[in-house]
Structure 1
């Protein structure tokens, strides 16, 4: 029999925010795969510390490149494409041997996650199941203790990797805003928020739902380093009774 590959969403980072299905699969499946940067433990793997069965076999999928070269460099896509093709072959072989595999996914597997690139290559070749999860942005706006949208507010989710002018234009049109993939892009995002006149309303949430979570107004964090696991939230102020 062919084994099933499960893309399991782990949510924002707290084990008690995993779904019952995700918890069962993580604890019960022998083969556990996860993405990580070379030399790092991997955020997804850290989330499940203490949950894996004693005989678990771990498969660390190490990115060949992350921020070393710009995403616009042709080598970036070529290297990542080869990486995903290689792991598609490895996971397919494991599945065809009859083994089930869990691929750990931070947040939700189909929301800007690396698993989607495996899914598109594996679909139709082996049995696939995807377990949805709470997104990191949901944990971020919850951490501010304020609703992100009211009434007819439109929520706009932006990647900080977009050009500055594009960010500013979309921010100016939006009711509520979430900005993801920060880190080295933060200064650009600050400038874009100022151009859109949304800077004073922005909140910065670092490590949402994790033990080291921090929440502050963005304007109060000038000059501070910002990790990749950070999200900016600008709350909508729409219709309410």
Structure 2
């Protein structure tokens, strides 16, 4: 159930890329309804005029995918401790137009929520299903492209000892595996992990210098991405209400 006047805390993690995608990502976010996300930038990220138009936190040394993301989410919370929702977005993705308004009318899908993923890999896609689908993959969760946490959820996640210890002794020295960490946190705490069908986000990046082997392939790829889905859904809802006797 949505609330009036949502207060969003939005962050975008960015890293150097052979083919930069940040500008397209930010344009997409603006069309979706989020105009001023904070950028969390690894060293040598694009320092073009883009950075002069947005609040940003530039890392002095390379942190890696998970540390930059976790630190960014922590900073969002500390800057905006009373936000209604915390959206962490990656710089190589596009989001559907007017997604913010759509989400403010459809969140939250349960009384208690671990996380909502706006990105739905094809493995989780169900034909003819529209809306939020709960999955329980644990460490095998895929898709840290765009995660939304509630206010209670972000506080519980950031303070979780197992999540914190991932950097200390997690696989790959704790610099990767955002989605497995989030998925396993949800599973351990019996909190639902939701994806949205159809996907509200499409991945457009190939690789970055921070994670050269990255890339979404096979069942990780999102299908049926419609950048106009929220508008179409709203039109159908209005028509349905009008047709109701």
Tell me the TM-score normalized by structure 1.
0.30
Q: Which has the higher contact order (CA 8 A, sep 6+)?
A: 2
For the pair shown, which has the larger CA radius of gyration, 1 or 2?
Answer: 1
Tell me the TM-score normalized by structure 2.
0.30
